[in-house]
Each structure stands twice: as structure tokens, then as C-alpha cells.
A and B are shown apart, each in its own frame.
Chain A
């Protein structure tokens, strides 16, 4: 195994051993699933709006290169400076250049998963620039020195009591009060001062409209609006798949996103950013930059089956409904994108040598596929990645990295047994008669019998019983 490869199995064992964490996730995800279900109580409405949103994303992807050019053209016309980054390193150096030119010492950030993908905060801090996350959840995980455990609710792994303790430790003059309103107000007071002083504000993008050059940003706290309007410079980051064709494509996306994510009909704030402050205007940043990141996305785009990965609108509903994510939480994945979408996106971005185990952290239950608002065939793509992990020559980086001669021999033997009626009969009769004598200490049986009794072979197979009862064979 790659020495640097994240070890999901080990990380998930640690998560499972933490009853507080398990309780926090179980409760939170149960609540989110219930709220989402209430949003889509009417099946016909759900199917209609889902088909519409999926078609918006499909259409955008079907002409992605053209739309990206149009987006650049229209953003530029609006006074937004567009930057292209092939890699996260390029994106980070673009950000640093802008910050250096602005002589920036303090950056405030709204939520952006792309900047998590870039590890931007670490890069800025190394450069001596103070960076402050202003989304409440992001602020909490930044204070805690950890990473988001969910793409929509970064601090969902913590409860009020844990956050109260954290604030008491980290914020000057904080009282020890397990009261959500008090804690929110405390964070608000810290953040307000920083918004006024910040040299640069950063944000993500929920959808970028090609025909108008508009950046759409939805949020609940108003911090995103502060980040994008108060500091003199605004830098927005987006993955290149976030473009949509027309303004009318935005409502289905920004309505389905919060309905799926948190069960809200709409977010408190919907920001449509169409450029810097114009002459005569009283507010808004003097410079707006848009950094468009590829980081492997154009390779994903090149494969017609894998391309569906890029439909994602980052609502996180797949996490809320994933029985694996619900048990182990987001940190166990050690990736910017955890849960089902992470299990297909991250291996394609980072390669199968490092992330080849990730597509196996799934029971293929299809709960994510059932609720995905843009109908991404997550489990089919998961299956494809499992194939490419053991078979070189595919489209995904480091194909065949998980190939194992022993495993291949097992499956080859399994196929030989199941493809020959005679071999199958001999094997199943032998297993039925002798299988129960297998000791529980055998490799796979040992894991199984930790919490279960040993599967009991029935003694006579269905083939035997059917023959004995005279069930016709043809």
C-alpha cells in the first residue's frame, strides 16, 4: 500500500469507537433526512423539479467548453478578472499573486469547498497572511484545527456542549454557556470586527451563469454577502463544472440544493454577483476575481460515463442518506469531499493509487442515488472505479493500482466454479456437507463472526431438494 495513502479502515475504526461522535451523526442525519423528506412530500413535484435540475446540469455539461468561454467573456465584460488554474498549485499561486498585489494581511472567507480542495488556508498562513473562515461551521472547525466533516455543515460532528468548550478555550472572554444563541452571537462579534478590517474577501460559487457573467452564491448567515461586498477585493473560486447556461437555469439549482441539503425551501441569502463596484456606487469591492479550477475535472469530463460525476451541485444530501457516512462521519474519509460523492470524485481527482480503496467503502445500497437531486448514477460510477482500480489501461489516473494477483486468482477460481454446472455441484455439495466444520478463525469468517454467528450451511442444497421433490429441470 502507498505509504501516504489515507487509511479509511483505520480512521473509521477510530470514529466508531467514539460514542459521542456516533450519537452526533446519527441524530443530525436522522433530522436532516426527515426535513428533506418533508420538502419532497409530493412525488410528482419531486420528479418534475429533479428532472428539470438534472437537465440543466446535463445541458451545461454537454456544451461545457463553449459555456466556459462565454462565461469568461461575459465576466470580463462585467469587470470580473477571470483566472484559469489547471492544478491546485496554480490556483494557490494565482490567489497569492492577487493578495500580494493588494498588500493583503487579512483575508475573510465564506464557505468554499474548492479552497478546501486547494488547502488554501495552509498556503496563506505559510505566507504570513491571516485567514479567517466566516461561515459559522467553518469558523468552528478552523478554531478546532480540524477540517469540515460535511460539505454543507462543516461542524456537524460537534454538539453544542463541545462547541461551548471550544469557544471557552479559544475565544477571549468567552463565557462557558451551552447555548446556541449565545455561541452564535459570540462568533458574530468576533467576525464583524474582522469583516471591517479585511483586505480581501473570498468565496465559493454555487452556479456561474455563462450568458450574463453572474456568480450565484447561496448562504444562510449573511457572512457570504459580507465577504463579497465589504473588503475592497473579492476572489471567488469555482470548479470548472459549476457553470450553467442561462439565468433561468439558476432557480432549479438553488431551490433543489437547500431543499435536499437541509430541508429548507430556500436559503436566507441569495447573492447574484455581477461585477465590482461601478462608478457612483456606494459599496461593493473595487476588484472581483474569479479563479476557475480544473484539477482533473477535464479528464473526468472526457469520459462520457464518468462525466456524470460533474453534475454535482454539492448539496451533501448523499452524505445525509449514506448509512456508512452516518456511522463514521466525514473525517474518516480524510478528503475534502466525504460520503458518496467523495467516494467517486476524490479517486478520480487524486488517482487510484492513493484513493483506490475509497470506492469500496460502500454497500452499494443506492440510498444516495435515490435522493440525488441531479440523478448522478453514483453507484454505477463506483462500480466502474472498482473495475479500474484492479485493471490497468482505463480512463482514471493510476488504473490497476490495486490489482492483486491473489485476489484475481480467487475471482478466477470463483468464476470457474460457477460457470460449470458440474464444478458448481461438486463444490456446493462439499460445502453443504463439510462447510460447517470451518473454524471461525479463518480470515473472512473471523471478521464476520465478531458480531454474528457463523453462516450455517443447510446440509442439502436447493438443487438437491428440487431434484428430490421432482421439480422439472426443463
Chain B
């Protein structure tokens, strides 16, 4: 297979949850890409992919927000997103959302350039990581949309397995939803609580000090439940975890 030349410049779509709650993870993603020699462009006009309104039945509002992002990524450079869920919204749902709209062609073009961060690190950049951290046991939580909309299943685990001092213990029910589901968590708080309860028990069963994930919705949910339950494990975004391992802390 002919190898495609690696890009030299990428756009970064940070997502609203990263922006507000996990900006350090967002910066870590940018730095991982920069460490591979890439120029990373962060358009300051960006806000949200539109998913919250899209999934709540408010398509016109979702369209308005998505439309405001479209012109921020001119050209052909890849768009890297540190979230499987927001990447899935852009890649899979924007073409549907813009169907029959004047900007449909542009939306389809932008959607085709979207990558989830770990997918990009593995498949496009073929990154080789060096672990400088202390030995630690972790587990991996797979976000539903990363797995089932972006097809990202093995990539993050492949990155984590490159780290010599990291012991990755997989969850028993790795593929099961943590119960976040956007507005689901507040529409059905008791069911969501039961779901994250099962997830926390699964995490505890691994004896991991950290649960690493690629989606901030899951991390708000699982991390918040771990803290509220005074559990030993803590949640962390994979970008930040990788950065810390490379830097040895």
C-alpha cells in the first residue's frame, strides 16, 4: 500500500466540554500533535459541534451552531478532535444535518476531514511513545460514540500499550455505556446513576489507579461518581495522560 504523506498542518476542534472543564487535556492534545512536528491551528471562533440540540430534537438550533463552525476550517487539512462523540457528530451527523441546505457540500467536505485524536495519532502519525512515568495500573473506558460512530476501539489501547510502565487492565464491560448520554443524565438521573454505579464497580474491580477515556462527557460522569463515592481511582483524558507519561510525571 502506498504510504500517504503525513500532513504538516492540522486544525484542532477543542469541543465545548474540553473548553470549559478540561482545557488542560485540550492543550495536551495540541502539544502531542506539535511534538510530531505538526503546525496546529486552533480557530478562536469555534464553539460547539451542535450535538446537544441535535440529540434533543432541536435540529434548526443544531444547524445554526454547526453552520457557525463551517468556515473556520478552510482548505484540506485534517481536523483533529479530542472527543469521539463530537468527532462523530461532525463526521457522521453533519452531512445529515446539512442535507438540502445551501452549505451541504461544504459540510460534507469538512466532515470528511474529521479525525478523533487517538485515531489520528495511530493511523496518520503512527506515533511511537516513550514512557517516562512511574509504574501505574490503569483501565480504559471506551466512549460509545468513539466506538460505534468513529470506529475507534483498539487505537487508544494501542497507544496505552506502548507505555512500558503502564499496566492496562481492561474492564469487564468495556463497551457498556457509562450513563452520561448528554441530557439523559438529568432527564433520567436515577437510571444514569445506576449505570455509572455499575461502571464504577467495574473500574474498582480492576484495581486501577486511573480510568482513562477519550471523551469528556464520560469523564465528567465517571470522574464525578468516583469522587463522590470517595473511590481510589480518578478519571483522566487520554491526551493528558499520554502527555504526563512522556514528560515523566
Chain A residues near B (Cβ < 8 Å)? 9, 12-13, 16, 22, 26, 323-324, 327-328, 360-367, 369-370, 383, 386-391, 408, 411-412, 414-415, 417-421, 424, 428, 431-432, 435, 444, 447-458, 460-467, 469, 471-474
Q: Which one of A387, A391, A421, A461 contacts B23 once the chains associate, using CB atoms below 8 Å?
A: A461
Interface segment, one of B14-22, B119-127, B129-137, B206-214: B14-22
Q: How far is the CB of A395 from chain B (nearest CB, A)?
A: 15
Give Cα A391 to B42, complex, Å: 36
Q: How far is the CB of B29 from chain A (nearest CB, A)?
A: 9
Can you list 17 A-B contacts (CB < 8 A)?
Answer: A323-B195, A324-B191, A327-B195, A327-B198, A360-B188, A363-B182, A383-B57, A389-B57, A390-B57, A420-B68, A421-B46, A428-B16, A449-B228, A451-B228, A452-B220, A453-B227, A465-B26
Q: Which one of A388, A456, A462 contacts B27 once the chains associate, using CB atoms below 8 Å?
A: A462
Q: Which chain A positions have C-beta within 8 A of B61?
A: 411-412, 414-415
Given A412-B61, A451-B196, A452-B220: 16 more A-B contacts, CB < 8 Å: A9-B190, A12-B188, A323-B195, A362-B184, A370-B148, A383-B55, A391-B57, A415-B64, A421-B68, A452-B225, A458-B20, A462-B14, A466-B27, A472-B42, A473-B43, A473-B44
Q: Is the CB of A462 within 8 A of B177?
A: no
Binary per-residue interface labels of chain B (47-75) against chain A in the complex, 1 for a CB within 8 Å, 0 otherwise: 11010111111111110110110000000
Give Cα A457 to B196, complex, Å: 21
Q: Is the CB of B196 within 8 A of A418?
A: no
Give Cα A276 to B220, complex, Å: 62
Give the 5 A-B CB pairs with smallest separation, nearest first.
A363-B181, A452-B224, A386-B57, A447-B189, A365-B177
Q: Is the CB of B27 within 8 A of A469?
A: yes
- For B55, B145, B188, B198, the residue with the greatest tally of chain A CB atoms inside 10 Å of its CB is B188
Q: Is the CB of A450 within 8 A of B176?
A: no
Q: Which one of A361, A428, A447 contacts B185 once the chains associate, using CB atoms below 8 Å?
A: A447
Q: Which chain A positions have C-beta within 8 A of B179?
A: 323, 363
Q: How far is the CB of A465 from chain B (nearest CB, A)?
A: 5
Q: Is the CB of A473 within 8 A of B42?
A: yes
Q: Is the CB of B181 within 8 A of A364?
A: yes
Q: Is the CB of B48 within 8 A of A418?
A: yes
Asked whether A365 and B42 contact (CB < 8 A) given A411-B58, A415-B61, the answer is no
Q: How far is the CB of A2 from chain B (nearest CB, A)?
A: 18
- For A383, A391, A471, the residue with the greatest tally of chain B CB atoms inside 10 Å of its CB is A471
Binary per-residue interface labels of chain B (97-108) against chain A in the complex, 1 for a CB within 8 Å, 0 otherwise: 000000000000
Q: Which chain B positions have C-beta within 8 A of A363?
A: 144, 177, 179-182, 184, 192, 195
Q: Is the CB of B191 within 8 A of A415?
A: no
Q: Which chain B positions have C-beta within 8 A of A450?
A: 189, 193
Asked whether A367 and B21 contact (CB < 8 A) given A16-B194, A360-B187, A419-B67, the answer is no
Smallest Cβ-Cβ distance to B172: which chain A residue: A30
B247 at the interface (CB under 8 A from A): no
Give Cα A451 to B185, complex, Å: 11
Majority SS of interface residues in chain B? helix
B164 at the interface (CB under 8 A from A): no
Q: How far is the CB of B155 from chain A (nearest CB, A)?
A: 18
Smallest Cβ-Cβ distance to B54: which chain A residue: A383
Smallest Cβ-Cβ distance to B222: which chain A residue: A452
Give Cα A92 to B194, complex, Å: 40
Q: How far is the CB of B199 from chain A (nearest CB, A)?
A: 9
Q: Is the CB of A9 within 8 A of B188?
A: yes
Q: How far is the CB of B226 from chain A (nearest CB, A)?
A: 9
Q: Which one of B43, B191, B227 contacts A16 once the chains associate, using CB atoms below 8 Å?
A: B191
Q: How far is the CB of B93 from chain A (nearest CB, A)?
A: 9
Q: Is the CB of A387 within 8 A of B189?
A: no
Q: Which chain A positions have C-beta within 8 A of B191?
A: 12, 16, 324, 327-328, 361
Q: Is the CB of A360 within 8 A of B184?
A: yes
Give Cα A361 to B195, complex, Å: 13
Q: Is the CB of B20 within 8 A of A365?
A: no
B149 at the interface (CB under 8 A from A): yes
Q: Which one of B16, B64, B176, B187 contacts A323 once the chains associate, using CB atoms below 8 Å?
A: B176
B118 at the interface (CB under 8 A from A): no
Smallest Cβ-Cβ distance to A12: which chain B residue: B191
B221 at the interface (CB under 8 A from A): yes
Q: Which chain B positions have C-beta within 8 A of A454?
A: 224
B30 at the interface (CB under 8 A from A): yes
Give Cα A79 to B111, complex, Å: 57
Smallest Cβ-Cβ distance to B55: which chain A residue: A364
Q: Which one of B21, B175, B186 contacts A444 once the chains associate, using CB atoms below 8 Å?
A: B186
Q: Which chain B positions have C-beta within 8 A of A460?
A: 23
Asked whether A16 and B190 contact (CB < 8 A) given A420-B68, A462-B14, the answer is yes
Q: Is the CB of B148 within 8 A of A458?
A: no
Give Cα A327 to B59, complex, Å: 30
Give Cα A319 to B195, complex, Å: 15
Smallest Cβ-Cβ distance to B181: which chain A residue: A363
Q: Is the CB of A462 within 8 A of B26?
A: yes
Q: Which chain A positions have C-beta within 8 A of B232?
A: none
Give Cα A435 to B21, complex, Å: 11
Q: Is the CB of A415 within 8 A of B65?
A: yes
Q: Which one of A12, A457, A461, A464 contacts B190 once the chains associate, using CB atoms below 8 Å?
A: A12
Q: Which chain B positions have C-beta within 8 A of A453?
A: 224, 227-228
Give Cα A13 to B114, complex, Å: 40
Q: Which chain B positions have C-beta within 8 A of A463?
A: 14, 19, 42, 44
Q: Which chain B positions have C-beta within 8 A of A383?
A: 54-55, 57
- For A328, A369, A417, A473, the residue with the greatest tally of chain B CB atoms inside 10 Å of its CB is A473
Q: Which one of A362, A367, A419 contacts B64 once the chains associate, using CB atoms below 8 Å?
A: A419
Q: Which one of B44, B190, B192 contacts A467 once the chains associate, using CB atoms below 8 Å?
A: B44
B45 at the interface (CB under 8 A from A): yes
Q: Which chain B positions have C-beta within 8 A of A432?
A: 20
B40 at the interface (CB under 8 A from A): yes
Smallest Cβ-Cβ distance to A444: which chain B residue: B186
Smallest Cβ-Cβ distance to A469: which chain B residue: B27
Q: Is the CB of A411 within 8 A of B53?
A: yes
Give Cα A412 to B61, complex, Å: 6
Q: Which chain B positions have C-beta within 8 A of A361?
A: 188, 191
Smallest Cβ-Cβ distance to A431: which chain B residue: B20
Give Cα A458 to B24, complex, Å: 9
Q: Which chain B positions have C-beta within 8 A of A388?
A: 57
Asked whether A462 and B23 contact (CB < 8 A) given A369-B148, A453-B224, the answer is yes
Q: Which chain A positions have C-beta within 8 A of B149?
A: 366
Q: Is the CB of A411 within 8 A of B56?
A: yes
Q: Is the CB of A418 within 8 A of B20?
A: no
B162 at the interface (CB under 8 A from A): no
